[in-house]
Structure 1
Amino acid sequence: MSQPRVSVIVPAYNAMPELTDCITSAMEQTIGLDQLEIIAVNDGSTDGTGAELDRLAATCPSLRVIHQENSGTAAIPRNVALDVARGDFVFFLDSDDYLGPDALRRMVAMADENSTDIVLGKMVSVGGRAVPTAVFKQSQPRTDIFSSAAYRTLGCWKLFRRSLLERLHLRFPPFRNTEDKPFTAAAYLNADGISVVADYDCYYHRDRANGNNLTLTAQNLSHRMRGTRMCFETVARHLEPGPRRDQIMRRHVEWELCGPLWWLLLRESEEDIREHIYPEVRDWVENWVTDPVIEKLEPRDRLLLHLLRADRFDDVMTVIRNAKGDAEYGHVIDGGRIYWDHPLFRDTAVGVPDSAFDVTGRLPVCHRIESACWQEEGVLRLTGHAYIENVDTLVPATELVLRCYDMGHPEVRIPTRVHTVAGLPDGERYVNAGFTADIDLTAAALGRGRWNLFLDVRAQGVSRTVRLKSPETERVPSHAIVTAGSGKPVVITPYVTKWGNLSLNVGQDVPRHATPCRVTRLSWHRTRKSTLVVTGTLAGEGAKEIGALRLRAENGEGERRETPVSLERSDGAFTAELPVEGLRAGRWTVTLTQSGSVASVPYLIGLGRTHWFRLARPYSAHPVKEASETTLVVEIRAVDVWPAVRRRLRRAVPRARG
């Protein structure tokens, strides 16, 4: 018997009716049954789970069923299956969840291509079940727990290289809750690389219709204590004290220590809290919670940890009981810092340091750019408003800060003119929040490169610096040709980053006769779905040479398609239509060309995906925001119909049952 690539392990206890979808999704994986073994462990079910597993096994030689007495935890059936697994990789699939059809093939390919020990497949919520999202913002061929958000998800629903688990002799502790966190933590801390598949819905996570998920029914703090201690011990065993350990410990302090104390502690009897839980929690704080960890937490967690350090049991219980009401207290401004005005703030009898109440870096900075436009040559004017939430705009002094993203140029600070503004929430507090900033690019001497724009918002001695959001996309001005101090003209291009922030691209020298184009709208044609429509204006002398202006799409192999641009009005307004049907699959960069000069067509928010048919096969095109920060890139691809249909049908099943 050949060795399978993947062993799919499914612990099952009273898992009907979701179990059928779960096992079927594993049986239908595109990697093929010859590459799989599915090991389902019936943990003493009484609802027909065992009979359903036997029925499915009779139809699938790759499905092996093990029946055992109830253990009361998912850990033991997982361990039973691990002991007999033969695959190169192991994937843990809970019996109420299911896989996307191509999930395992993609995950195994990612592990093979990058020689990684753990692969995270994108998780999808079904019916509102919470799923991690930060780690799945983009695919990552190879990363680690220190440079990614992987450690935020310690559930075991991942692909593990089995040799890693066997080398560590790694098995699940027999706990009713939190049993998978120390297991996954140990694997993470010893893995040779982690991969993330974020461009495909791999794992569908759902609650059972009857609400008896083990993680939902085992919600007492006492169910979590042993698992939490084991998490701390695992990190301490594998990482030396220092910043790297603190970075990982912070996750457990926030999610396994502070979080459960706030929302679970009061479910326990005061006797159990005083005699068992409180001494254990204090021991965790003494051994593993350092000052650098506390500094990075939110104020209420900092307060709680300082009280635990000081062994103030009654105060701990009081702040937990009064948490909701205490959150409504306002703020105190002192010495350029903002503090939470909690009843224990500066209570000398308690002795909690002021730093525990400091919220200066956590209050939101609300801002908006109302307009961005070129004034006289080389002056970019920005108008808008900015204020620090809950800080009255007294003695405001906002500055614009320019920082080069990819070169070593020094930052440039530009004072703004502050003025009154109406119509803001709680307008009397923020009446002086308006500002106008003139960036004189002929005098600022910005070096070549990409410059990010920030606002240093100040009021009452408090200073907060935030990234400058873009105005409405249509209001982002086109590029300008600026004569710098050297006497040479340079192109300055305002653009919107993929995160919606405003930046400047200081480009190369250009001929003086070059004429700027401004693109104002991108759309797909209403009836000809495969045609890109670009509208804009052509300024200056270039408007007289509209016949020379062409819209171009070009791929990485030098293939091009161009169409002429037609003038709509005498003021230089133009429209260009570019059919993308017939272009080869792949990514195409879109530009405007005129008399040898090239102008970027920027990505504008609102251009979505389009579909059309060619030779009875569906195709799609969509902008790729992350491909370029200054130029529109369109990806064309053939649509694989059947996986899309299966995904839609599978998504419809739980909705229909709900």
Structure 2
Amino acid sequence: MRPEPDVTVVVIAYNDARRLPRAVRSALEQSLAQVEVVIVDDASTDSTPRVAATLAEGHPDRVRAFPLQANSGGCGAPRNFGLQMARGRYVMFLDSDDTLPAHACGTMVAAAEETGADLVAGRCVRVLPGREKDWCPWLYQDPGLFRSVLDQPDLLYDTLATNKCYRREFLDRAKLRFAERLHYEDLLFSAQAYLAADGIAVVPDRVYNWMVEPRDRAPSISNRRAELRNFADRLEIHRRIDVALRDHSAAELARLKDAKFIDHDLLLYLRELRSRDSGHRQLFTDLARSYLAEMDDTVFHAAGRIPAIAALMIREGDIEAAMAAVDLVPRSGVPVLSIEPAEQDGRVYWSGAHIGTELGRSVLDVTDMDLSTLPPDALHLGGRVTAMRPEGKVLRVSGTIVNPLGRIKPGEELSGTLDIRDRRRASRAFHVQASFRHEDGWIAWEAAFVPSRTIRPFGLVDQTWGMWLRLKAGGTTVMARLTSEGTAHCDLAVPVRPRLTRAVGDHLEPYIAGNGELALRIVACRWPARMVLPALRRVAGTDLARALRRRLARRGQPQAGQDARTPVSGPSPAVERRG
């Protein structure tokens, strides 16, 4: 009879034949000898079931593989099945695209044995191309033992189920299983485990590698946050967490969880809301309002200032003011001020439309942010495209820029350009002369150009181009990010002549990027591009394409229409933030 393993590592997989062996190998090569691996394949349609079976055949005493007959639509069901099959005294969960460091199992089992804790949590590291970033680093600076999550409420910020080791007897005793057919099952499982555990040990050691692959190498999946069901699932999970917290009379934990929802969860969706159509925005707002209305008003003071403003504006149904708040806390780059704050009785408020209550006045008061005195390069201004009109070969574009608190004085001379720049590399840009004027407290602008002559992309490595304004007012230069409500650019496509010929694309189509920026992307409207471009995009993630992009980045030569002495300024390279 085979001895009982110390740890069962449950590896779940779906259409991931390429990376599954790496994940399983990392579990088999643990310094702790008695580790078994249970692979649960969620009805993959590629060669994953065959790869899993081969791994089990190669290690018959340590690896077992179980193919599910129907796809479950999430991670909950395959993890629950793996937990049912586990024979180890402890259980860990591993996704097929991630890995375990060599001492992960040994470190966590040792901590559990030494402390008697039901649950051990360790340091997870996000492994990105060329760099690494710790997940919730403040939680894992030193070892610790907590009787319950009430002794360390910040554990709620670490919602992962994978960087933890659980006593199997504890999971069975507490009847802990993952929610099925819902996204974000980790959030609920982790919260319930924290609340039920008799002792939580924390180790500063690295116990999980969250492997983040480049977009052009990762499996092609859509951004599920674009689906309203995705947000509805998150709200349902949060409501179930609320029930668990109430059952444990954990009012302070509930307030912390709600503040995290405003600071993190809601912000993820609001950052992408400009790229959704008006119908999606309204349905999203209705969902969010219903949940925010269930929260105590004190949570708006417990959350961060700008996220709290955004959440309150959503609760009030003011989508524009909410999106403008999110513009001020971008995931990367320079903040964008895209709203005209209101002044009243010597105070400055984010919006004057919602200060009729004490909560509104206190949350929306931004007087001490000194928005009217910040230096020009500390903020980008928010701009809109209100019209894009083809006139023969000429494209005429016009719109407005906010002038918050009269930062740009009426008497100042205005000039500048419309900058159309490579979204992968902002220093590559084409410039179009624009005209500006003061108009009803706003700055109105207009530009006209022939796209096929002005914009000359290579075509394969630079397929998307952002549209920004460079406004010179007096002796200062201010950048303005452009966005659009959709009506200005709907169903519009203009001819383009890529340097790699029109076989790699023949038109530019306006769209709203995930960060709210109005951009242009190369599309194929005619033959031969309609045949060639899809094939080229399939190879865009090859080593050759990446080498070409790196070569272009190293060259750093000014392109057509770019002043070699004055590089284009703009948002800094993307910097990942927590969560």
Please give the range of the TM-score, normalised by the shorter of the 2 chains: 0.5 to 0.7
Residues 297-330 of structure 1: CA deviation (Å, up to 9, x unaligned): 2233322333344xx42x2244316742764779
Who is 1:324 aligned against?
Answer: 327
Pair 1:259-2:289 in alignment: no
Who is 2:306 aligned against?
Answer: 300
Which amino acid is 2:111 matched to? Answer: M
Aligned pair in 2 of structure 1 residues 178, 213: CA closer, same or farther (>3 Å)?
Answer: farther
Query: How far 1:29 moved relative to its partner?
Result: 0.8
**Structure 2 contact 74–180 (Cα < 8 Å) conserved:** yes
Query: How far 1:197 moved relative to its partner?
Result: 1.5
Residues 512-566 of structure 1: CA deviation (Å, up to 9, x unaligned): xxxxxxxxxxxxxxxxxxxxxxxxxxxxxxxxxxxxxxxxxxxxxxxxxxxxxxx
Who is 1:565 aligned against?
Answer: none
Aligned pair in 2 of structure 1 residues 215, 236: CA closer, same or farther (>3 Å)?
Answer: farther
- Give the Cα separation in 2 of the matches to 1:317 and 1:334: 21
Who is 2:161 aligned against?
Answer: 156
The counterpart of 2:207, out of the listed 197, 202, 208, is 202
Aligned pair in 2 of structure 1 residues 213, 234: CA closer, same or farther (>3 Å)?
Answer: farther
Which amino acid is 1:150 matched to? Answer: L
Residues 27-61 of structure 1: CA deviation (Å, up to 9, x unaligned): 011110xx222110122223322222222222221
Residues 396-453 of structure 1: CA deviation (Å, up to 9, x unaligned): xxxxxxxxxxxxxxxxxxxxxxxxxxxxxxxxxxxxxxxxxxxxxxxxxxxxxxxxxx
Who is 1:492 aligned against?
Answer: none
The counterpart of 1:353, out of the listed 352, 357, 360, is 360
Who is 2:137 aligned against?
Answer: 133
Query: TM-score of the superposition, structure 2-length normalised?
Result: 0.55
Who is 1:559 aligned against?
Answer: none
Query: How far 1:190 moved relative to its partner?
Result: 1.5
Pair 1:280-2:284 in alignment: no
Which amino acid is 1:324 matched to? Answer: D
Aligned pair in 2 of structure 1 residues 247, 36: CA closer, same or farther (>3 Å)?
Answer: same
**Structure 2 contact 108–203 (Cα < 8 Å) conserved:** yes
- Give the Cα separation in 1 of the matches to 2:194 and 2:292: 23
Three-state SS of the structure 2 residue aligned to 1:277 is helix
Who is 2:99 aligned against?
Answer: 98
- Give the Cα separation in 2 of the matches to 1:323 and 1:144: 35
Which amino acid is 1:284 matched to? Answer: Y
Who is 1:515 aligned against?
Answer: none
Which amino acid is 1:189 matched to? Answer: L
Three-state SS of the structure 1 residue aligned to 2:120 is strand
**Structure 1 contact 5–89 (Cα < 8 Å) conserved:** yes
Which amino acid is 1:29 matched to? Answer: Q
Who is 2:90 aligned against?
Answer: 89
Which amino acid is 2:232 matched to? Answer: M
Query: How far 1:170 moved relative to its partner?
Result: 2.3
Pair 1:243-2:249 in alignment: no
- Give the Cα separation in 2 of the matches to 1:187 and 1:214: 30
Alignment of 1:425-464 (within 5 A): none
Which amino acid is 1:6 matched to? Answer: V
Who is 1:79 aligned against?
Answer: 80
| Higher alpha-carbon deviation: 58-67 or 214-223 | 214-223
The counterpart of 2:198, out of the listed 188, 192, 196, is 192
**Structure 1 contact 123–202 (Cα < 8 Å) conserved:** yes
Which amino acid is 1:93 matched to? Answer: L
Residues 448-476 of structure 1: CA deviation (Å, up to 9, x unaligned): xxxxxxxxxxxxxxxxxxxxxxxxxxxxx
Three-state SS of the structure 2 residue aligned to 1:119 is strand
Aligned pair in 2 of structure 1 residues 361, 19: CA closer, same or farther (>3 Å)?
Answer: farther
| Higher alpha-carbon deviation: 265-274 or 48-57 | 265-274
Residues 601-628 of structure 1: CA deviation (Å, up to 9, x unaligned): xxxxxxxxxxxxxxxxxxxxxxxxxxxx
Aligned pair in 2 of structure 1 residues 307, 151: CA closer, same or farther (>3 Å)?
Answer: same
Who is 2:417 aligned against?
Answer: none
- Give the Cα separation in 2 of the matches to 1:340 and 1:329: 12
Pair 1:64-2:64 in alignment: yes
Which amino acid is 1:51 matched to? Answer: R
Query: How far 1:76 moved relative to its partner?
Result: 1.7
- Give the Cα separation in 1 of the matches to 2:369 and 2:193: 33
If asked which structure has higher relative contact order (CA below 8 Å, sep 6+), I would say 2
Which amino acid is 1:294 matched to? Answer: F
- Give the Cα separation in 1 of the matches to 2:39 and 2:100: 15
Instruction: List gaps (5 residues or longer) in structure 1.
Output: 364-388, 392-657
**Structure 1 contact 232–249 (Cα < 8 Å) conserved:** no
Aligned pair in 2 of structure 1 residues 147, 215: CA closer, same or farther (>3 Å)?
Answer: farther
Aligned pair in 2 of structure 1 residues 282, 341: CA closer, same or farther (>3 Å)?
Answer: closer
Which of these two proteins has the greater Rg computed from alpha carbons? Answer: 1
Pair 1:38-2:44 in alignment: no
**Structure 2 contact 146–199 (Cα < 8 Å) conserved:** yes
- Give the Cα separation in 1 of the matches to 2:137 and 2:83: 28
**Structure 1 contact 146–247 (Cα < 8 Å) conserved:** no
Three-state SS of the structure 2 residue aligned to 1:123 is strand
Who is 2:23 aligned against?
Answer: 22
Q: How many equivalent pairs are there?
A: 358
Query: How far 1:82 moved relative to its partner?
Result: 1.5
Which amino acid is 1:285 matched to? Answer: L
Query: How far 1:163 moved relative to its partner?
Result: 2.5
**Structure 1 contact 100–201 (Cα < 8 Å) conserved:** yes
**Structure 2 contact 310–326 (Cα < 8 Å) conserved:** no
Instruction: List gaps (5 residues or longer) in structure 2.
Output: 329-335, 376-549, 551-579
Query: TM-score of the superposition, structure 1-length normalised?
Result: 0.49
Who is 2:120 aligned against?
Answer: 119
Query: How far 1:138 moved relative to its partner?
Result: 1.9
Aligned pair in 2 of structure 1 residues 211, 271: CA closer, same or farther (>3 Å)?
Answer: same
Query: How far 1:196 moved relative to its partner?
Result: 1.5
Which amino acid is 1:259 matched to? Answer: L
Task: Return the structure number with greater helix share.
Answer: 2
Alignment of 1:197-596 (within 5 A): 197-198=203-204, 200-208=205-213, 210-212=217-219, 220-239=227-246, 240=249, 242-256=251-265, 258-274=266-282, 276-287=283-294, 289-309=295-315, 312-313=316-317, 315-320=318-323, 323-324=326-327, 327=337, 341-342=349-350, 344-345=351-352, 353-358=360-365
Three-state SS of the structure 2 residue aligned to 1:205 is strand
Query: How far 1:68 moved relative to its partner?
Result: 2.0
Identical aligned residues as a percent: 24
